Amino acid sequence: MNRYLTIVLTTAAACTVHAQTANPLSTEAKQAYTGVKNNVTKLADKVPEADYGFKATPEIRSIGQLIGHVADSQMRTCSAVNGAAKQPTASSKTAKADLVAALKESFAECDKAFESLTDATAAKMVKTARGERTSLGALMGTTSHSNEEYGYLAVYLRLKGIVPPSSEPR
């Protein structure tokens, strides 16, 4: 019985290792995207409606404007990767419900892009606002940009006395 259990466990472990390494580049890209998606989504939901107009200083974007910017940027890039570039309008919105809906729509578009990404398709060239890039480069650029904007938003939340989602106890 012990030998049978050892064989089953060894086979299961080998299959797990193979599954994890079959597409290592796209798997890591998806993991990074999922992290920022969770943080930005939770942040957008957590911020009270009244704080969507808050700016740390008058000359920079408000919380709502940053969320709209993230949604628009993601929608532009991910729709291009998906083969049908869209011109988003989240930046023109001010109400929390509208901005959260636009953000969710942009994440749905990015979900499709990341779900279709494999190491084999990562080098496919895509026309973006920043020129022609690989699918992997465009999607990692989006993840990086969304993380950067999340960092700004986390500071805004701290200024309002709100703990950012990534700093909440687990």
Cβ–Cβ < 8 Å for 135, 124:
yes
Name the pTM for this structure: 0.86
pLDDT tens for residues 78-108? Answer: 999 999 999 999 999 999 999 999 999 999 9
The domains located in the chain, with CATH, are 23-167 (1.20.120.450)
Cα Rg, the chain, nearest whole Å: 19
For residues 47 and 63, is the Cβ–Cβ distance under 8 A?
A: yes
CA–CA gap between residue 136 and residue 118 (Å, rounded) = 9
Q: Looking at residues 55-59, what average pLDDT do you find? A: 95
Q: Which residues contact 142 (CB under 8 A, 6 or more apart)?
A: 33, 73, 74, 77, 78, 110
DSSP reduced 3-state for 121: coil
Closest CA to 152 of 45, 33, 62, 29: 62
The DSSP string of 46-92 is HS-GGGTT--SSTTS--HHHHHHHHHHHHHHHHHHHTTS-----GGG
Checking if the pLDDT of 14 tops 70, the result is no
Question: Stretch 47-69: mean pLDDT, rounded?
Answer: 97
pLDDT at res. 156: 97
**% of the chain with per-residue pLDDT over 70:** 88
The span from the first CA to the last CA of the chain, in angstroms, equals 39
